[in-house]
Amino acid sequence: MAISFQPNGNLSEGVYIMSLENFEKQFGVNNYRKMLINGLKLGMSHLKDCGCKRIFIDGSFVTTKELPGDFDACWDADGVDLDKLESIYGTLLDFSDERKKQKELYSGEFFPAQAPASEDLIYFYFFQQDKDENPKGIVQINLI
């Protein structure tokens, strides 16, 4: 599926499956975005080491915004060794203080895709709507 954006800069509705290489080409368009991608890649490597198969990226990072605040990602918990994740990469499970430690280490935030984001939605679906509940797209990157 080719990337397309809504007039407001959000991705058009859908899940866009991209290789990491294509993701970097599409969204790593300046040094600041490249720095954020480096943090994302670190988190992706930690998740992959624990058996994570795919992640989904959302937020202002996957918009046309030149300088997004950070990135938001959710990861598929299916098959993930949570004991290993907690013991070695515990920051990925630390949601305290508005995920301060995640932001410091990774320059962004990671959430389990199947965890509740609101009363009605898990993160996977929560990420697919804007603050006014209008549909928007997300990017999927397969790790394995």
pLDDT bin (cut points 50, 70, 90) of residue 17 is very high
* Residue 2, pLDDT score: 85
Q: Note whether 99 and 31 are within 8 A (CB).
A: no
* Residue 21, pLDDT score: 98
Q: Give the residue, 2 or 118, on which the prediction is more confident.
A: 118
**Domain count of the fold of the chain:** 1
CA distances, 126 to each of 27, 51, 120 (Å) = 21, 23, 9
* Average pLDDT for the chain: 97
Q: Note whether 141 and 20 are within 8 A (CB).
A: yes
- φ, ψ (nearest 5 deg) of residue 30: -150, 170
User: Is 5 inside any structural domain?
Assistant: no
Q: Is the pLDDT of residue 1 over 90?
A: no
User: Is 28 inside any structural domain?
Assistant: yes
User: Is 7 inside any structural domain?
Assistant: no
Q: Note whether 53 and 144 are within 8 A (CB).
A: yes
Length, in residues, of the chain: 144
Query: pLDDT per residue over 59-75, tens digit each?
Result: 999 999 999 999 999 99
- For 99, the domain range is 14-142
